[in-house]
Amino acid sequence: MTSSIELTDVTLDYNLYSVRAQSLRNTVLNMAVGGRLIQAGKDVTYVRALSNVSLKLNEGDRLAVIGHNGSGKTSLLKILAGIYSPTLGKVDVRGRISSMISISVGLDIEASGLENIRNLAMMQMMSDREIKRRMPAIVEFSGLGAFVHMPLKTYSAGMVARLTFSVATQVDADILIMDEWISAGDADFQKRAADRLNNMVDSAKIVVLATHDYQLAAKVCNKVMTMESGVPTFLGTTEEWLERSSAA
């Protein structure tokens, strides 16, 4: 089966039933920073996180989604990963997805790096035997060395990013969805990560990467989508995007 992603006029509204309630989580609050706040009646406020997004990606495409905080990047990724259903519009995603949207969810800070790799891989539906088989490669790529035996609470943010990224890219997935946390790693790791993502085209995969690191986007991706307040402002190849931004 060939993998592909097609979004048709996707609109996403968050309903906030009571704005003062503590139940609102950071993601929603962040949306309110750059998203459009719409008042509807007294109790229900809704934030339009995405409006009329259309997009088509085929095998081999690596899309960078670029935008400010709260521009709708993460919302778009969550729609692609099947976490959110759109309020309006159609989502058609074909292929097995590996999504790494949060750097820390599913991690246990008391457990060692190895145990965490096992837990993350387990959540990605890897069997015990497969985990065992891939473990050396994951550990090797993470570059964490002897630290994999240490509890995660001794890790820096960049080390956690290395660990999560290593697992995410070892999964047999057709579509890889990653949020901007990749930039948490150091220069060496970012280079390795970029190489890795570049190599993934060979295995005919689709990569969607949210970032505000323009260089990373230019290095890794062949398509770029920029977003502002939930509205796509540009969608095209990386060359077109580079031309446009150098002209501006």
Partner 1 sequence: MSLVGSFKAAALDLYRGVLLTPLWWRVSVEQTVTRYRRSLLGPVWMASTTLATAFSLAIVFGSIFGGDAKDNLSFIMIGVVGWSITGGILPEIANTFVNAAGVMQVRSLPLSFHAFQQMSKIFINFMHQVVGLWLVLMLMKLAVVPHWTLLVNLPIALLTGLFVSIPLGMVSVRFRDINYMVGFIAQSLFMLTPVFWRRSQVPETMRWIVDLNPFSHLLEIVRQPLMGAAAPIHDVNASLAFLGVAALLTLISLTLVRTRVVFWL
Q: Which of 58, 82, 149, 204 binds partner 1 (CB under 8 A)?
A: 82
Q: Which of 29, 33, 40, 83 binds partner 1 (CB under 8 A)?
A: 83
The residue (of 81 and 218) whose beta carbon lies closer to partner 1 is 81
CA distance linking residue 241 with residue 234, whole number of Å: 8
**What is the strand order of the sheet 206-211 is part of?**
97-100, 175-178, 206-211, 62-67, 223-228, 231-237
- From the CB of 8, what's the least distance to partner 1, in Å? 15
Q: Considering the rule CB under 8 A, would residue 23 count as an interface residue with partner 1?
A: yes
The residue (of 2 and 23) whose beta carbon lies closer to partner 1 is 23
CA distance linking residue 60 with residue 215, whole number of Å: 20
Nearest Cα to 174, choosing from 99, 123, 103? 99
Q: Considering the rule CB under 8 A, would residue 65 count as an interface residue with partner 1?
A: no
Q: Which of 21, 146, 247, 248 binds partner 1 (CB under 8 A)?
A: 21
Q: In this structure, what token pair is assigned to residue 9?
A: 């006029």
Q: Which of 3, 10, 14, 227 binds partner 1 (CB under 8 A)?
A: 14
How far the first Cα of the chain sits from its last, in Å, is 41
The residue (of 14 and 241) whose beta carbon lies closer to partner 1 is 14
Can you point out the beta strands (E) in the chain?
4-16, 36-40, 44-57, 62-67, 88-94, 97-100, 175-178, 206-211, 223-228, 231-237
206: buried, middle or exposed (CB in 10 Å: 19+, 13-18, 0-12)? buried
Q: Considering the rule CB under 8 A, would residue 122 count as an interface residue with partner 1?
A: yes
Q: Considering the rule CB under 8 A, would residue 145 count as an interface residue with partner 1?
A: no
**What is the strand order of the sheet 44-57 is part of?**
36-40, 44-57, 4-16, 88-94
Q: Considering the rule CB under 8 A, would residue 32 count as an interface residue with partner 1?
A: no
Q: Which of residues 92-121 bind partner 1 (CB under 8 A)?
A: 97, 99, 101-102, 105-106, 108, 110-111, 119
- From the CB of 123, what's the least distance to partner 1, in Å? 7
Cα-based torsion angle of the residue sequence 137, 142, 143, 144 in order, rounded to the nearest 10 degrees? -110
Instruction: Return the bridge partners of 176, or none.
Output: 98, 207
Q: Which of 8, 11, 27, 45 binds partner 1 (CB under 8 A)?
A: 27
Q: Considering the rule CB under 8 A, would residue 22 count as an interface residue with partner 1?
A: yes
List contacts with partner 1 (CB under 8 A).
14-15, 17, 21-23, 25, 27, 78, 81-85, 97, 99, 101-102, 105-106, 108, 110-111, 119, 122-123, 125
